[in-house]
Amino acid sequence: MLHERKHKKFVQVSYIEGDQYPNPNYISYQITGWVEEANLASKVMRHFYHLQANSKLNEWAIETDQHTFNLFWAPLENLPPIVSPQDKWLAYFLKELKQ
């Protein structure tokens, strides 16, 4: 997140996503807006959830943020590839889960 400028108690910030991480070729998404400085954080907290599915539904789609996401259940022993840096978070989670 980039801090663009500040005015009184507000900071203009931009969130930018590239086509790949860590070396993007181009910006694929960007949003800019004003936020109260008191609501900005320097620390990001991630949460992981381990769910067990008892459903016969293995795949489904949801539409949000003008995108369609195709979701599915996957066993922890056979997960699909995950983009960087999320793959590092998953490796950490799986290590903690085994302990």
Number of domains in the chain: 2
Look at the pTM and tell me if it is higher than 0.85. Answer: no
DSSP per-residue codes, 50-91: ------S--EEEEEETTEEEEEE---GGGPPP--TTHHHHHH
Digitized pLDDT (tens) for each residue of the chain, 99 residues in all: 667 789 999 999 998 888 776 788 888 889 999 999 999 887 777 788 888 877 777 899 999 988 999 998 888 888 888 887 788 888 888 888 888
Domain extent, residue 22, equals 1-38
- Answer yes or no: are the C-beta atoms of 62 and 71 closer than 8 Å: yes
Token representation of residue 11: 């900071």
- Answer yes or no: are the C-beta atoms of 42 and 53 closer than 8 Å: no
Q: Are residues 1 and 29 in the same domain?
A: yes
Token representation of residue 77: 């022993």
Q: Are residues 24 and 56 in the same domain?
A: no
